Amino acid sequence: MNYIELGPVPAEESCAQVGAPDYERNARRECGVFRRMLERLFPVPEDVDARFTVRQYPHDFGSYFEVCVAYGAPRGGFINTAPSDFAFRVESETPSHWDAIAQYELAWYERRDAYIAAVSDQRMTPGEVPAHYAAGTPPRLPVQAKFHELLAAYPL
Protein backbone atom coordinates (compact mmCIF):
# COMPACT_ATOMS: atom_id res chain seq x y z
CA MET A 1 0.00 0.00 0.00
CA ASN A 2 0.99 3.57 -0.67
CA TYR A 3 -0.15 6.42 1.56
CA ILE A 4 -0.83 10.11 1.07
CA GLU A 5 -1.06 12.06 4.33
CA LEU A 6 -4.00 14.47 4.32
CA GLY A 7 -3.50 15.93 7.81
CA PRO A 8 -5.25 15.40 11.13
CA VAL A 9 -8.05 17.87 10.26
CA PRO A 10 -8.93 20.09 7.28
CA ALA A 11 -6.04 22.46 6.53
CA GLU A 12 -7.62 25.67 7.81
CA GLU A 13 -9.05 24.21 11.02
CA SER A 14 -7.30 24.06 14.38
CA CYS A 15 -6.33 20.69 15.79
CA ALA A 16 -5.07 19.03 18.95
CA GLN A 17 -1.40 19.79 19.60
CA VAL A 18 1.21 17.10 20.27
CA GLY A 19 2.23 17.22 23.93
CA ALA A 20 -1.00 18.84 25.11
CA PRO A 21 -3.03 17.13 27.85
CA ASP A 22 -5.39 14.52 26.38
CA TYR A 23 -3.67 14.92 22.99
CA GLU A 24 -4.11 11.30 21.92
CA ARG A 25 -7.83 11.15 22.79
CA ASN A 26 -8.54 14.50 21.10
CA ALA A 27 -6.39 13.75 18.04
CA ARG A 28 -7.97 10.33 17.51
CA ARG A 29 -11.42 11.91 17.77
CA GLU A 30 -10.59 14.71 15.29
CA CYS A 31 -8.97 12.25 12.88
CA GLY A 32 -12.02 9.97 13.10
CA VAL A 33 -14.36 12.84 12.30
CA PHE A 34 -12.10 13.95 9.42
CA ARG A 35 -11.89 10.37 8.05
CA ARG A 36 -15.69 10.01 8.10
CA MET A 37 -16.06 13.39 6.38
CA LEU A 38 -13.68 12.27 3.62
CA GLU A 39 -15.54 8.97 3.25
CA ARG A 40 -18.78 10.95 2.72
CA LEU A 41 -17.22 13.36 0.23
CA PHE A 42 -15.09 10.85 -1.66
CA PRO A 43 -16.77 7.43 -1.72
CA VAL A 44 -14.24 4.85 -2.89
CA PRO A 45 -15.44 3.19 -6.11
CA GLU A 46 -15.87 -0.58 -5.75
CA ASP A 47 -13.20 -1.36 -8.33
CA VAL A 48 -10.57 0.90 -6.72
CA ASP A 49 -8.10 -0.44 -4.17
CA ALA A 50 -8.16 2.51 -1.77
CA ARG A 51 -9.37 3.40 1.72
CA PHE A 52 -9.14 6.15 4.32
CA THR A 53 -7.19 5.38 7.46
CA VAL A 54 -5.69 7.04 10.52
CA ARG A 55 -1.97 6.46 10.99
CA GLN A 56 0.30 7.14 13.93
CA TYR A 57 3.77 8.63 13.41
CA PRO A 58 6.65 9.13 15.87
CA HIS A 59 7.59 12.66 16.94
CA ASP A 60 10.12 14.15 19.39
CA PHE A 61 7.28 15.01 21.79
CA GLY A 62 5.35 11.77 21.32
CA SER A 63 3.38 10.24 18.49
CA TYR A 64 1.03 12.22 16.27
CA PHE A 65 -1.89 11.11 14.12
CA GLU A 66 -2.88 11.87 10.53
CA VAL A 67 -5.64 10.83 8.19
CA CYS A 68 -4.30 9.20 5.06
CA VAL A 69 -5.65 7.82 1.86
CA ALA A 70 -4.14 4.37 1.31
CA TYR A 71 -4.10 3.10 -2.23
CA GLY A 72 -2.86 -0.01 -3.95
CA ALA A 73 0.38 -0.19 -5.84
CA PRO A 74 0.45 -1.45 -9.43
CA ARG A 75 0.77 -5.25 -9.57
CA GLY A 76 2.95 -7.13 -12.01
CA GLY A 77 3.15 -5.74 -15.52
CA PHE A 78 -0.40 -4.39 -15.49
CA ILE A 79 -0.59 -0.69 -14.75
CA ASN A 80 -3.86 0.30 -13.12
CA THR A 81 -3.81 4.00 -12.37
CA ALA A 82 -7.31 4.11 -10.84
CA PRO A 83 -6.11 3.82 -7.21
CA SER A 84 -3.45 6.52 -7.57
CA ASP A 85 -5.80 8.72 -9.62
CA PHE A 86 -8.37 8.47 -6.83
CA ALA A 87 -5.79 9.19 -4.10
CA PHE A 88 -4.36 12.23 -5.88
CA ARG A 89 -7.85 13.56 -6.59
CA VAL A 90 -8.68 13.31 -2.87
CA GLU A 91 -5.43 15.09 -2.00
CA SER A 92 -6.08 17.94 -4.42
CA GLU A 93 -9.79 18.33 -3.58
CA THR A 94 -9.73 17.86 0.21
CA PRO A 95 -11.80 20.68 1.73
CA SER A 96 -9.99 23.18 3.93
CA HIS A 97 -12.90 23.41 6.41
CA TRP A 98 -15.22 21.03 8.24
CA ASP A 99 -18.56 20.23 6.61
CA ALA A 100 -21.82 20.57 8.59
CA ILE A 101 -21.90 16.94 9.70
CA ALA A 102 -18.30 17.05 10.94
CA GLN A 103 -19.05 20.29 12.82
CA TYR A 104 -22.06 18.62 14.44
CA GLU A 105 -20.03 15.52 15.37
CA LEU A 106 -17.32 17.64 16.99
CA ALA A 107 -19.93 19.64 18.92
CA TRP A 108 -21.67 16.41 19.95
CA TYR A 109 -18.43 14.96 21.39
CA GLU A 110 -17.63 18.24 23.16
CA ARG A 111 -21.12 18.43 24.69
CA ARG A 112 -21.05 14.76 25.69
CA ASP A 113 -17.66 15.18 27.41
CA ALA A 114 -18.90 18.30 29.21
CA TYR A 115 -21.98 16.40 30.39
CA ILE A 116 -19.90 13.49 31.65
CA ALA A 117 -17.50 15.87 33.44
CA ALA A 118 -20.41 17.69 35.08
CA VAL A 119 -21.85 14.52 36.55
CA SER A 120 -18.59 12.66 37.20
CA ASP A 121 -18.80 13.33 40.93
CA GLN A 122 -22.25 11.79 41.05
CA ARG A 123 -22.87 8.09 40.84
CA MET A 124 -24.86 7.42 37.71
CA THR A 125 -26.59 4.35 36.47
CA PRO A 126 -26.75 3.67 32.72
CA GLY A 127 -30.42 4.75 32.66
CA GLU A 128 -29.47 8.20 33.93
CA VAL A 129 -27.21 8.98 30.95
CA PRO A 130 -29.21 10.80 28.24
CA ALA A 131 -30.00 8.38 25.42
CA HIS A 132 -28.34 10.49 22.75
CA TYR A 133 -25.01 10.25 24.65
CA ALA A 134 -25.34 6.66 25.87
CA ALA A 135 -24.58 5.22 22.43
CA GLY A 136 -21.05 6.66 22.56
CA THR A 137 -21.18 7.97 18.99
CA PRO A 138 -23.15 10.75 17.30
CA PRO A 139 -26.37 9.85 15.46
CA ARG A 140 -26.35 9.11 11.73
CA LEU A 141 -27.10 12.39 10.03
CA PRO A 142 -28.59 13.34 6.64
CA VAL A 143 -25.72 14.21 4.31
CA GLN A 144 -27.05 17.40 2.71
CA ALA A 145 -28.29 19.10 5.88
CA LYS A 146 -26.93 22.44 7.05
CA PHE A 147 -25.51 22.82 10.57
CA HIS A 148 -28.49 24.75 11.93
CA GLU A 149 -30.85 22.11 10.50
CA LEU A 150 -28.87 19.38 12.23
CA LEU A 151 -29.07 21.23 15.55
CA ALA A 152 -32.83 21.68 15.17
CA ALA A 153 -33.43 18.03 14.26
CA TYR A 154 -30.83 16.55 16.64
CA PRO A 155 -30.45 18.87 19.66
CA LEU A 156 -27.26 18.55 21.64
The pLDDT assigned to 2 comes to 92
pLDDT tens, position by position, 59-91: 777 789 999 999 986 555 567 788 999 999 999
- pLDDT of 19 > 80? The answer is yes
Mean pLDDT across the chain: 85
**129 or 89, greater pLDDT:** 89
What is the per-residue DSSP string for the chain?
A: -EEEEEESS-TTS----TTSTTHHHHHHHHHHHHHHHHHHHSPPPTTS-EEEEEEEE--TTS-EEEEEEEEPPPBTTB---HHHHHHHHHHHH--SS--HHHHHHHHHHHHHHHHHHHHTTS---GGGS-HHHHTSSPPP--TT--HHHHHHHS--
The pLDDT assigned to 153 comes to 79
pTM of the model: 0.83
pLDDT winner (highest mean) among 65-69, 128-132, 135-139: 65-69
